[in-house]
Structure 1
């Protein structure tokens, strides 16, 4: 989907969509004015998207391999939520083989949507497909996704890139209309990610010399964006996020947490070793998303009049409430009694909770 401009489906292909939506007897309307919307996926992000569609939406956890179209019969709109919002479901997936099931599911979902005559398909991924790095400028809708040597094949990033590749191929067809939503860091009921676990650590990790702005989007606004995109005939890639961005100082103050600063080489090198032995649940490369910028502009949605209901500041409050009472070392949750046994390291560790912190403490001693 990279490089494509956001366009309104109200002209060209979109005129067919508008007519179908208004007709009570259109396919998928089941004799009512409201179109039948099928939300495909599991987890807190899918739940938030489904809630946004209200009575118009129905849930399908997974489109089956046998007779996949039967799961989408009557669908006027299909929303494939590829972002699980659950770190544990994708943490162990490595390389093309690890994402093969997600690719196959996306392929049959989009094929089934065409077969049942759906007018519009929305695929929900994440802005992490664009990558994060120290000098990352604000992300716009037409920003290219990671590719080649910069692509991350493991974990959530690889999972979403694999699904986006399927969506990019589907976008070349004349129908149905296709939109890819790429939200900023998602928070909300039940969302568990490397971003939320960053705030479960005893301290917030920062990389020396990098100012990392924070933009958080509530899952309800992701759902609302899916509704808005369909109702306004918006297609192509669309980033999703509120206009306000928080500074590290604001985040630290709101969280009531101190920071620990490490050199990038130390942070990523240690994370890689810990992931290799199974201590870190997510690939070391995903550490970039909690220490480097990846703020989105939400150009297309904003230009069309979409306004998120919650700011980044509001979303941060939701995140902090959700992680209260939890403790994660290196992104891996531990019991409080176990953390107490870690002594000084347990008190000083930030996201990594690693041997690097131990060495740092010994050098100071």
Structure 2
């Protein structure tokens, strides 16, 4: 997931620094009286999900103070800002006095080098968990994705939170998220007294750019023959509300979050007005793998599984705690379609206006299967260098 997402790294700007001596305003300072709620630290607070959650928590009468951590200063004036990389062990001092840490400094950008992305995500999560324990924080909230359950033909509809995590590392960022999940399970054993809550959103929508949101930028919706897609979305506002529930300790454990129910592929096509392009599995997966291998698309073939098979979640733990999504799948899909209007993507690759016009004229099937032409173009470009 790229910015903003559960998994989001804020834009980098190390040269930005906080105003010396500046004190944040708090609900009490604004005349609301003393607040007895927790002090909550948010990493990745300058942009995306982190920025939205920081603003939400800072406005809450149930939060005593918000500590915002990122590599640049964000917009929220009511938070106490600390400017540093989450991989810096000095973060432990910045977390001292916090009751809860919500760790959202993840990089799931499609264009980031995979090795650099993994190094940032895993090392950052390790450092935050260790620093939180050292600082006396009693709860850390991590955000991964419901993708960790895996998209498989025999998945139940819906999956419970306790369902086995059967995903593999073949899709964008999923390997990193599985490692974050492993660190979450290990942390309470390594640091007795530290509670770790994990929030797993469905397809995240709301200013996001992922392989799954790019699926709806194509001139045709790719459907793999014999597959059984089921679409469940999660609006970023609902995710922030669920993260707030976790930060306020209204719910704990492993939490799945998404809209109620799901949409079948036929419903998605009817609502979107985008027609399908159906291909045999071997053709679709083979073409996607070749295009990714030669560097022409950012999405590996593993991303296709999440458009082929269901990975719908129940969200029962949040529901039992009183949380409900405000958005429906139909509403979130409509918002997504509005966001991607005017963008053109084939096989996960963004196209310029000229390429998009040609692709529309030739048809999506020709564009997807025209691997040889793309390879020739890439080879000619390399020879010119």
| TM-score range for the pair, normalised by the shorter chain length | 0.7 to 0.9
CA-CA distance at 1:32 after TM superposition? 4.1
The partner residue of 1:348 within 360, 364, 371 is 364
Write the mapping of 1:105-120 to structure 2, written as runs, cut at 5 A.
105-120=124-139
Write the mapping of 1:113-262 to structure 2, written as runs, cut at 5 A.
113-137=132-156, 138-146=158-166, 151-152=168-169, 155-172=172-189, 173-188=191-206, 190-262=207-279
The partner residue of 1:102 within 75, 99, 121 is 121
In the alignment, structure 1 residue 93 sits paired with structure 2 residue 110: no
In the alignment, structure 1 residue 277 sits paired with structure 2 residue 294: yes
CA contact (8 A) 1:275 1:282 kept: yes
Residues 41, 144 of structure 1: alpha-carbon distance in 2 compared, 3 angstrom cutoff: farther
Residue of structure 1 in register with 2:91 after alignment = 68
SS of 1:155's partner is coil
Could you tell me how far apart the structure 1 residues matched to 2:170 and 2:301 are? 12
CA-CA distance at 1:275 after TM superposition? 0.7
Give the TM-score, by structure 2 length: 0.76
CA-CA distance at 1:354 after TM superposition? 3.1
Could you tell me how far apart the structure 2 residues matched to 1:239 and 1:64 are? 27
Give the TM-score, by structure 1 length: 0.80
CA contact (8 A) 2:292 2:300 kept: yes
CA contact (8 A) 2:170 2:301 kept: no
Could you tell me how far apart the structure 2 residues matched to 1:322 and 1:73 are? 40
Could you tell me how far apart the structure 1 residues matched to 2:270 and 2:55 are? 32
CA-CA distance at 1:334 after TM superposition? 1.1
How many pairs were matched up? 318
Could you tell me how far apart the structure 1 residues matched to 2:202 and 2:128 are? 24
CA contact (8 A) 1:204 1:260 kept: yes
Could you tell me how far apart the structure 2 residues matched to 1:180 and 1:245 are? 22
The partner residue of 1:288 within 305, 310, 318 is 305
The partner residue of 1:59 within 59, 68, 81 is 68
Residues 357, 297 of structure 1: alpha-carbon distance in 2 compared, 3 angstrom cutoff: farther
CA-CA distance at 1:98 after TM superposition? 5.7
CA-CA distance at 1:244 after TM superposition? 2.7
CA-CA distance at 1:277 after TM superposition? 0.5
Deviations 1:184-212 (A, max 9, x none): 11101x20011110000111111112231
SS of 2:140's partner is strand
Deviations 1:41-75 (A, max 9, x none): 26523333334323443431242424221332322
SS of 1:179's partner is strand
Deviations 1:259-302 (A, max 9, x none): 00011121111111111001120221111112221100112111
| Structure 1 unaligned regions, length at least 5 | 1-30, 359-365
SS of 2:230's partner is coil
Deviations 1:101-132 (A, max 9, x none): 32211111011111222122100000111110
The partner residue of 1:81 within 104, 128, 131 is 104
Cα RMSD (Å) of the superposition? 2.4
CA contact (8 A) 2:40 2:247 kept: no
CA contact (8 A) 1:206 1:261 kept: yes
CA contact (8 A) 1:82 1:163 kept: no
SS of 2:296's partner is coil
SS of 1:223's partner is helix
